[in-house]
């Protein structure tokens, strides 16, 4: 439900603000298309969190300055004074000391990151299931800074499809087949089949070098480092030395074609670990040809191009605790004030995109082509990059 508030400072003219909550569905007019990217018009949103035990005893301003590092200290002072930050639904002084479990509301002007302006095309539509071809760079469902710029949000805005229940996930930078149930019961059926090992998955990737002609099975544990946003593959050496960390993982690979420089490879993950296909291809000596995170053993420094796509995806909204541990400043999106109202307190305005997105992102050459289970199969066409001619 939308809620109206009035606010202003000193002699400035007060402005009417319409605050949104997750109950407000995305609409077609919420999107702006520019320079090959889909943007979301900035909107007012209420973020809610509850005081953790380790936060208790801090002043409201110190709490935000220490835990929510996306904005300067002075912003939080002003936000508390004018009521954009409230405790248990009430305005409080900047010296207010928070207590465990109290509800904190942060009302802010939300700027979502842009995604590639590619269609979310419907492949198959039936009473209980919808399948789509997910474009790269678009997350499946709301997470971090993304809410409207998601597959679920776009389908609701452009096709009036809701509710939808994704029965599997694709990483934001991965494209291809995505299956969405149209009821919770249908979603549960799919998930039970997946958990029972009855569902087979197939992806294709464009990798470096001439991949071996015969089927190659990579059986190597996946150890995911959340801080770095990167996985590593580990195998037990023949002498049985140091124990292997991570989770058991297995992927089958089969070469489809090669030109000696690149190969198109069919990938069949037997397990489902974070970045499994990407790190197993790196382990096999044939990383995905445009995968900046796994082309070498070192994390590629892309500071001259803005934040890398993987790091950007890992970062949470500036109104949430920082997870990326790096300076998220880079070139700003072009001034776009003609498309939306500028908020005088917003630390992103007058730019359309939030800070930290340089616009150099591209999708991975990794694409989901097929899911199959007991009595059903869904497929997605190959992308253009799958042709080596």
Catalytic positions are 171
The two beta strands, 366-373 and 175-181, are parallel
d(CA 309, CA 360): 8
The single residue listed with the structure tokens 């071996």 is 212
The single residue listed with the structure tokens 């904190």 is 104
d(CA 89, CA 247): 44
Among 384, 387, 210, 172, smallest CA distance to 293 is for 172
For residue 126 the two structure tokens come to 């039936």
d(CA 91, CA 76): 13
d(CA 187, CA 173): 24
Read off the DSSP letter of residue 386.
G
Q: Go through the chain and tell me how many residues it has.
A: 389
For residue 252 the two structure tokens come to 């089958």
| Cβ atoms within 10 Å, residue 63 | 22
| Cβ atoms within 10 Å, residue 147 | 22
3-state helix, strand, coil in the chain (%, to 5): 15, 30, 50
Read off the DSSP letter of residue 9.
-
Return all residues near 294 (Cβ < 8 A) that are at least 6 apart. Answer: 230, 275, 278, 279, 281, 282, 287, 288
For residue 290 the two structure tokens come to 């445009």
Q: Evaluate whether 41 touches 68 at the Cβ level (below 8 Å).
A: no
According to DSSP, the residues that pair with 253 across neighbouring strands are 216, 267
Separation of first and last alpha carbons in the chain: 53
């Amino acid at each position: 439900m939308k809620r109206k508030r009035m606010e202003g400072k000193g002699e400035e003219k007060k402005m009417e603000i319409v605050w949104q909550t997750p109950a407000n569905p995305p609409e077609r007019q919420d999107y702006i298309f520019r320079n090959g990217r889909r943007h979301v018009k900035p909107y007012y949103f209420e973020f809610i969190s509850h005081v953790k035990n380790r936060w208790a005893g801090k002043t409201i301003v110190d709490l935000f300055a220490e835990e929510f590092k996306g904005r300067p200290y002075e912003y939080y002072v002003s936000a508390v004074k004018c009521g954009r930050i409230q405790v248990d639904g009430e305005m409080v002084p900047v010296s207010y000391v928070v207590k465990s479990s109290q509800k904190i509301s942060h009302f802010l002007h939300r700027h979502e990151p842009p995604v590639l302006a590619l269609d979310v095309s419907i492949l198959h539509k039936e009473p209980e299931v919808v399948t789509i071809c997910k474009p790269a760079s678009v997350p499946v469902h709301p997470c971090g800074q993304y809410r409207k710029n998601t597959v679920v949000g776009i389908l609701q805005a452009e096709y009036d499809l809701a509710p939808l229940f994704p029965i599997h996930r694709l990483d934001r930078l991965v494209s291809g087949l995505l299956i969405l149930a149209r009821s919770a019961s249908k979603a549960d059926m799919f998930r039970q089949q997946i958990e029972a090992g009855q569902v087979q998955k197939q992806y294709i990737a464009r990798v470096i070098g001439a991949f071996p002609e015969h089927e190659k099975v990579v059986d190597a544990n996946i150890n995911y480092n959340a801080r770095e946003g990167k996985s590593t593959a580990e195998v037990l050496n023949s002498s049985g030395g140091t124990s292997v960390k991570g989770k058991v993982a297995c992927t089958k690979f089969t070469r489809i074609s090669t030109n000696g420089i690149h190969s198109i490879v069919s990938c069949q993950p037997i397990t489902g670990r974070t970045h499994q296909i990407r790190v197993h291809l790196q382990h096999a000596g044939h990383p995905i040809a445009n995968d900046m995170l796994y082309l070498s053993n070192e994390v590629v420094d892309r500071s001259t191009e803005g934040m890398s796509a993987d790091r950007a995806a890992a970062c949470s909204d500036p109104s949430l605790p920082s997870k990326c541990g790096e300076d998220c400043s880079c070139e700003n999106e072009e001034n776009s004030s003609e498309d939306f109202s500028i908020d005088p307190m917003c630390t992103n305005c007058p730019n359309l995109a939030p800070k930290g997105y340089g616009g150099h992102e591209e999708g991975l050459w990794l694409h989901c082509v097929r899911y199959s289970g007991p009595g059903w199969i869904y497929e997605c066409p190959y992308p253009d990059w799958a042709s080596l001619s």
